[in-house]
Amino acid sequence: MKLSIAIGALFATSVAAFAPSSIPSRTVSASSSALNVFTSEVFKTEDVKFADTTETIVRGGRDLFPLLPKAFEGVKEIGVIGWGSQAPAQAQNLRDSFNEAGCDIKVRIGLREGSSSFEEAREVGFSEDADTLGEMFDIIKKSDLVMLLISDAAQAALYKEIFAAMKPGATLGLSHGFLLGYLESIGESFPEDMDVIAVCPKGMGPSVRRLYEQGKEVNGAGINASFAVHQDKSGKANELALGWGVALGSPFMFETTLTSEYKSDIYGERGILLGAVHGIVESLYRRYQRQGMSAEQAF
């Protein structure tokens, strides 16, 4: 029942995304006070110009891995929750990057009790014996950074339990802004005492992993990613988000907001790819038939 309500919320959020509303200002550090203009004390930033727009970016690359310990300062344990498209790639990329950088940060996988994905996680090197694989809430409780990569519907159904399980001072990490849209649609918000960040690769999980591995031979190969700092209670969220993107192997990182991320996703993927393309094809099919074509010719 809870999951059914959450699935329904997907549609409610989609409608609410474009309704006139006041969007609360995000709480960020001085280092990322303006969209598209940010600074970093760890990574070199660069201003690039697209037509009449200038945007600040960070160029990634494996040569930046030695900077990861500083970017992840205070983070000793990361919980990657889920095993869908993004989680397998992101977990493996982070684990490999930390190993190469000489970081002692532990990456764990958290899954539902009895999930069939346990075996898949074991096949790529995560295990209960090594304390890198376990039940999701047990992993959440241990983690300094909780990378919540479960489905939109599951996030909507379980967010209260997830927030309650997170230890004080832990950071919530997302790769999609849907949860913000859902919380706003029901008049709720993230707990104020935690950092909330996002790193959103611009490609499917298998590509994130495949191009990361290609980057072992070609420095800079990878999937570009946007990043967002929605709440910065610690003052370190900006560097952590950038470090996450570097560890994923992203060759370019640019700033966005959780609101912009989920609205553009709804418009581009659900509106254009899943809705408009089908609608345009069907309307042309009917138009051609009205103009005298047979059904076969119109098709």
The catalytic residue positions are 176
- Positive or negative: CA dihedral 128, 131, 132, 138: positive
Buried b (16+ CB within 10 A) or exposed e, 91-116: bbbbbbbbeebebebbbbbbbbeeee
Token pair of 257 as six digits = 């907001």
Alpha-carbon 271 to chain mean position: 20
Q: For the stretch 10-31, what's the b/e string if a residue is b when 16 or more beta carbons lie within 10 angstroms of its beta carbon?
A: beebbebbeeeeeeeebebbeb
Question: What DSSP line would sit under 147-183, residue for residue?
Answer: EE-S-HHHHHHHHHHHHHHSPTT-EEEESSSHHHHHH
| Residue 37 bridge partners (DSSP) | 34
